[in-house]
């Protein structure tokens, strides 16, 4: 498996997202320019210029027309995927962290960081079909959790919002009323900051990666813990294979400690685990910094990883990957 | 004694009796003489009674000197003069404090006298210093404190046998050796826990024996034969052992104990503490206690200036432990310490110096004991700018005879390595050139067990190679050296005897450029683990020296510590908390197969439990190794059973997990289908899920970008 090295970002990667068809890969980095690539050969297709701060997260609509990006410049922007023009900009009082379109792409959930005395929030915006009719009002604002909320995603049928962040608790909110429905158990749940959260392709379960060196699989409806995958390194990113019963988790030691150690010490590996048996299958090395972002192609035949080193590595699986016996 | 009455009570009583207290003139009341109503007066003599005892009534400052010559009266004054001269030196004799009684009938002295000092300290030191004083051949003083005479009088004249306590059988402390699966134990410390495990390579995991939180305050240590586990606390050290679990067997009080050391035969334990001065006037002193391991009795203590105990080869930073080195094998007969120009050798029968004096070796810099015999090898460095050569000598104990000595020139440093059977001694000699700009290294090899102890000189092919590591094969005749500069040194193997060359050292092989800086021989010999620790990131190579081939290579990234199990079947590599990451240990088979890995955060210590030497005779051992096939059959069958059982268990477990998952997925799918319609509406009727079908159309677009017309010159085509 020879990875395709995609050099385009000048700063550490923060997020990767495939569109539904799996032909485009959107990448966010701490440089200000979200980028779109051909998911097959890694050619750079274009850059969305307009942000003035690190871009933390993005999502693409089901029809691959709209891109939403959340940035530390305190804005969330809507883009036209094809032309790269900015359609709308939501302004906030603090950096935006996570964004996601709902099922049907009519709503978007956005989280903002605690900033200058403001607490973190989860906000829901209505997304209009016609960008000219777009308004910036939030239809719901949830406050409560302490610290940064690193991810917020929609639950089944947009009825709930699942959030996770620095306080290491995973929460289930009612997306209509903003009521807190459920919290993950302190004992069995994560012990440190949850850095990433990713849903399975059907939305039935989701995987969280935490700095407590583990990743956990949860039921989206009941928030019950299903599986735990333990590694030796803080987990910054994780992804669920849509094809096989595999999950991949990546991470590495703190970026601030990287320069002091050997690249092998950092364990900057993307580790594959069997989703059901919780056993380690193997690892993909390559990055020379922690892995910050991971994404599976929706067809499950390739995946990409983005690192603190500023590179995206696109891996097309060899045929023997599909015949691994456990 | 009257009970205590409060003022309020008195007032109440007075009221009851109709007396106005304020009208009573208290001073006018007089008590009958001799009546005190049970209340002790402050000026009562009795209150000072106890103190008075100490001052006067005791005869603590009086000594009795016995065994004086019996003399007639005319010599009385002369003898008094002599005695006063002797005892006057120690302290001031009180006026009239000398009394030598005279037999009124014979008009001769009775052969003893009393001397009273001003203080009891003087009396004590007089007793200590003059007891056993030889006035002449037939008069050896017997000096005692007067107070003690009474004590001696109480000793019954007739001897009565001491009461013998009934024997209570203790636990079998060697129970662990009788494990049916012949496993070995190890102890680890991680976080607040100290845990003892069985190494169970069949199950590919360790099995817990005993776990305890805060078992020790600094470290743990096995005794050399594995019988006890020692823990170290602020108040002292403790040893633990037992048949099935770990019970405390003995405590050794030693406040602020820092280091401990067992004698090789587990008879004694040495504890060490160092007391830093709290202000500059005080001295930094150290205390070493020798305890009997089984009875807990303090056998001897050594107390002294820290500088005296860290002299010799040790570094500036601290004591080179152990201060006292045990010698003479497992009998625990001798221990020795390096001093200035001396080696102090003690024997354990009396815990005193052999022949009451230390072994004088001018300028001795270092010494080592033979691991099996009472032989000391000591090193004296070069003196007088090279006029007096450096010297290595072998000294027999307790006779203190020099068995062999070798003078060496241009020596800058020396290291001594004993082979663990005490058969060979290798001395690594670093020599400097005349200019002292570069050093070369050679070896002097002593054959201790042969007549006259022949010495052989071994020089490496490249004399300038640095020696990174040296190690003898345990119980064998081979040794390995890592030598060379730079990141990839060479490793050479030598033998002290080969088939062709019985009495000479010969090279077996050299491995070129290996990433190794440490050698770990299997305790059973034959195999050696070449390890690259620290800078080499934990490269491991398992090497068979019999066949001179590499069996396997591995890596335990960042490994800091390696130890073979006492049987040489398994090897443990660990990363301890000197690194922040990767803490934990790996267990390997002797041939380099990684058996299992256990990650542990805050991992401090890994120690295999040592085993006592085998009780089998060498003949029997040989017989077993000859018929190994026969014996191993049984174990192979067991192995097979276990692995079958394991795989069966594993299969079942996996099946269960898979079933559980499938069930969950099925349940989800049902819900998912129920909701399909709802999802469809959310998406405005667009096909909702992955089951939707869409066809891939290939559309070809042609776009004319640019059209240019060009006239092609046709002449060129005509050629």
Distance of alpha carbon B644 from alpha carbon B631, whole angstroms: 21
Residue-level pLDDT at B3: 53
Are the beta carbons of B228 and B266 closer than 8 angstroms?
Answer: yes
Distance of alpha carbon B556 from alpha carbon B573, whole angstroms: 7
Of B581, B672, B682, the CB nearest to A202: B672
More confident residue, B534 or A267: B534
Spatial CB neighbours of A32, under 8 Å, sequence gap ≥ 6: A49, A51, A52, A53, A54, A55, A71, A73
Are the beta carbons of A296 and A288 closer than 8 angstroms?
Answer: no
Candidates A105, A158, A234, A276: best to mutate against B (most CBs of B within 10 A) is A276
Burial A148-160 (b: 16+ CB within 10 A, else e): bbbbbbbbbbbbb
Of B582, B657, B679, the CB nearest to A277: B657
Please check whether residue B136 touches A, CB under 8 A: no
Residue A40 DSSP label: T
Are the beta carbons of A265 and B581 closer than 8 angstroms?
Answer: yes
Task: Please state, rounded to an integer, the average pLDDT across all residues of chain A.
Answer: 89
- pLDDT block averages, 10 residues each, chain B of length 719: 60 70 65 60 49 52 85 85 85 83 84 84 80 82 81 79 80 88 91 92 88 91 93 92 88 90 92 82 83 90 77 50 83 87 88 87 88 90 82 89 89 90 91 81 90 88 85 91 86 84 82 90 92 84 91 88 93 87 88 90 92 88 87 85 87 90 89 83 69 63 82 63
Largest CA distance in chain A: 53
Distance from CA of A223 to the nearest CA of B (A): 13
Please check whether residue A276 touches B, CB under 8 A: yes
Candidates B682, B685, B692, B696: best to mutate against A (most CBs of A within 10 A) is B682
**Contacts for B674-678 with beta carbons within 8 Å, 24 or more apart?**
B675/A156, B675/A157, B678/A157
Distance from CA of A232 to the nearest CA of B (A): 7
Which residues in chain B touch residue A205, judged by CB atoms under 8 angstroms apart? Answer: 668
Residue A191 reports pLDDT greater than 70? yes
End-to-end alpha carbon distance in chain B: 150
Of A158, A204, A262, the CB nearest to B537: A262
Burial B472-500 (b: 16+ CB within 10 A, else e): bbbebbbbbbbbbeeeebbbbbbbbeeee
Residue-level pLDDT at B416: 92
Distance from CA of B358 to the nearest CA of A (A): 52
Is the Cβ pair A106, B682 closer than 8 Å? yes
Residue-level pLDDT at B38: 60
Please check whether residue A261 touches B, CB under 8 A: yes
Distance from CA of B535 to the nearest CA of A (A): 10
Spatial CB neighbours of A236, under 8 Å, sequence gap ≥ 6: A195, A196, A209, A211, A250, A251, A252, A290, A291, A292, A293
Which residues in chain A touch residue B684, judged by CB atoms under 8 angstroms apart? Answer: 104
Please check whether residue A22 touches B, CB under 8 A: no
φ/ψ of residue A245, rounded to 5: -85, 60
Candidates A63, A102, A103, A299: best to mutate against B (most CBs of B within 10 A) is A103
Are the beta carbons of B407 and B389 closer than 8 angstroms?
Answer: yes
Candidates B673, B679, B691, B697: best to mutate against A (most CBs of A within 10 A) is B679
Is the Cβ pair B537, A264 closer than 8 Å? yes
């Amino acid at each position: 498996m020879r990875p395709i090295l995609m050099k385009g970002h000048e700063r550490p990667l923060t997020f990767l997202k495939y569109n539904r068809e799996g032909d485009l890969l959107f990448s966010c980095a701490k440089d200000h320019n979200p980028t779109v690539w051909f998911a097959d050969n890694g050619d750079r297709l274009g850059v969305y210029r307009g942000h003035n701060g690190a871009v933390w997260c993005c999502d693409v609509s089901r029809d691959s027309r709209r891109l939403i990006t959340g940035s530390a410049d305190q804005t969330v922007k809507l883009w036209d995927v094809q032309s790269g023009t900015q359609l709308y900009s939501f302004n906030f009082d603090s950096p935006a962290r996570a964004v996601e379109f709902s099922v049907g792409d009519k709503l978007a959930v956005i989280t903002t960081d605690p900033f200058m005395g403001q607490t973190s929030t989860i906000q829901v915006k209505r997304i209009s079909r016609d960008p000219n009719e777009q308004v910036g009002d939030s239809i719901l604002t949830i406050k409560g959790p302490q610290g940064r909320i690193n991810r917020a995603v929609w639950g089944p049928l947009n009825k709930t919002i699942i959030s996770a962040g620095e306080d290491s608790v995973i929460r289930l909110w009612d997306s209509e009323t903003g009521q807190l429905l459920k919290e993950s158990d302190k004992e069995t749940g994560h012990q440190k900051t949850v850095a990433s959260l990713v849903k399975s392709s059907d939305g039935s379960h989701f995987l969280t990666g935490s700095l407590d060196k583990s990743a956990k699989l949860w039921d989206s409806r009941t928030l019950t813990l299903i599986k735990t995958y333990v590694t030796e390194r803080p987990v910054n990113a994780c992804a669920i294979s849509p094809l096989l019963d595999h999950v991949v988790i990546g991470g590495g030691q703190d970026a601030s400690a990287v320069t002091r150690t050997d690249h092998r010490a950092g364990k900057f590996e993307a580790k594959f685990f069997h989703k059901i048996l919780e056993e380690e299958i193997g690892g993909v090395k390559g990055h020379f910094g922690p892995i910050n972002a991971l994404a599976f192609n929706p067809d499950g035949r390739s995946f990409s990883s983005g690192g603190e080193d500023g590179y995206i590595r696109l891996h097309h699986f060899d045929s023997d990957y599909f015949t691994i016996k456990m | 004694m009257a009970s205590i009455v409060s003022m309020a009570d008195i007032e109440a009583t007075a009221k009851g009796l109709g007396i106005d207290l304020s009208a009573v003139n208290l001073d006018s009341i007089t008590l009958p003489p001799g009546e005190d109503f049970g209340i002790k007066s402050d000026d009562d003599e009795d209150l000072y009674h106890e103190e008075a005892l100490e001052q006067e009534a005791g005869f603590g400052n009086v000594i009795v000197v016995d065994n004086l010559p019996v003399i007639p009266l005319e010599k009385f004054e002369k003898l008094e003069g002599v005695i006063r001269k002797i005892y006057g030196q120690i302290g001031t004799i009180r006026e009239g404090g000398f009394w030598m009684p005279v037999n009124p009938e014979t008009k001769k002295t009775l052969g003893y006298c009393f001397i009273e000092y001003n203080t009891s300290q003087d009396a004590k030191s007089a007793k200590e210093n003059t007891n056993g004083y030889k006035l002449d051949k037939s008069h050896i003083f017997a000096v005692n404190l007067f107070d003690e005479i009474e004590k001696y009088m109480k000793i019954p004249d007739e001897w009565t046998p001491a009461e013998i306590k009934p024997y209570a059988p203790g636990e079998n402390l060697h129970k662990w050796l009788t494990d049916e699966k012949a496993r070995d134990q190890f102890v680890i410390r991680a976080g607040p826990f100290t845990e003892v495990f069985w190494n169970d390579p069949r199950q590919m995991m360790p099995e817990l024996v005993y776990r305890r939180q805060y078992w020790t305050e600094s470290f743990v240590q096995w005794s050399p034969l594995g019988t006890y586990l020692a823990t170290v606390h602020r108040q002292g050290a403790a040893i633990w052992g037992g048949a099935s679990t770990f019970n405390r067997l003995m405590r050794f009080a030693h406040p602020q104990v820092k280091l401990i050391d067992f004698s090789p035969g587990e008879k004694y334990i040495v504890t060490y503490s160092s007391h830093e001065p709290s202000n500059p006037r005080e001295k930094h002193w150290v205390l070493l206690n020798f305890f009997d391991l089984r009875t807990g009795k303090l056998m001897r203590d050594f107390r002294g200036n820290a500088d005296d105990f860290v002299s010799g080869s040790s570094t500036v930073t601290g004591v080179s432990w152990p201060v006292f080195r045990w010698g003479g094998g497992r009998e625990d007969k001798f221990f020795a310490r390096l001093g200035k120009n001396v080696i102090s050798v003690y024997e354990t029968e009396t815990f005193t110096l052999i022949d009451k004096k230390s072994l004088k070796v001018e300028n001795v810099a270092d010494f080592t004991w033979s691991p099996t015999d009472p032989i000391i090898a000591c090193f004296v460095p070069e003196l007088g700018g090279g006029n007096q050569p450096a010297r290595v000598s072998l000294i027999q104990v307790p006779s203190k005879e020099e068995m062999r000595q070798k003078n060496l020139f241009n020596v800058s440093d020396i290291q001594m390595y004993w082979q663990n059977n005490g058969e060979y001694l290798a001395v690594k000699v670093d020599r400097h050139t005349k200019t002292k700009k570069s050093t070369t290294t050679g070896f002097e090899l002593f054959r201790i067990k042969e007549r006259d102890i022949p010495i052989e000189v071994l020089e490496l092919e490249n004399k300038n190679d640095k020696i990174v590591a040296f190690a003898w094969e345990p119980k064998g005749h081979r040794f390995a050296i890592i030598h060379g500069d730079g990141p990839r040194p060479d490793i050479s193997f030598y033998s002290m005897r080969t088939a062709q060359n019985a009495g000479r050292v010969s090279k077996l092989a050299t491995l070129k450029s290996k990433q190794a800086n440490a050698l770990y021989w299997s305790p059973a010999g034959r195999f050696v683990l070449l390890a690259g620790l620290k800078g080499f990131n934990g490269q491991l190579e398992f090497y068979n020296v019999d066949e001179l081939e590499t069996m396997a290579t591995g890596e335990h990234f960042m490994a800091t510590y390696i130890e073979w199990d006492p049987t040489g079947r398994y090897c443990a590599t660990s990363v301890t908390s000197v690194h922040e990451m990767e803490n934990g240990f790996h267990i390997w088979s002797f041939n380099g197969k990684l058996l299992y890995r256990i990650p542990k955060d805050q991992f401090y210590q890994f120690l295999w439990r040592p085993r006592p030497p085998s009780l089998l005779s060498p003949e029997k051992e040989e017989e077993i190794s000859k018929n190994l096939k026969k014996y191993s059959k049984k174990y192979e069958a067991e192995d097979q059973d276990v692995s079958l059982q394991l795989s069966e268990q594993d299969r079942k477990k996996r099946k269960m997990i898979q079933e559980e998952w499938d069930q969950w997925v099925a349940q989800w799918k049902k819900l998912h289908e129920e909701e399909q319609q709802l999802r469809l509406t959310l998406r405005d009727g667009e096909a909702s899920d992955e089951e939707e079908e869409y066809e891939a159309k290939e559309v070809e677009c042609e776009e004319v970008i640019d059209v240019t017309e060009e006239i092609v010159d046709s002449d060129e085509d005509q050629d």
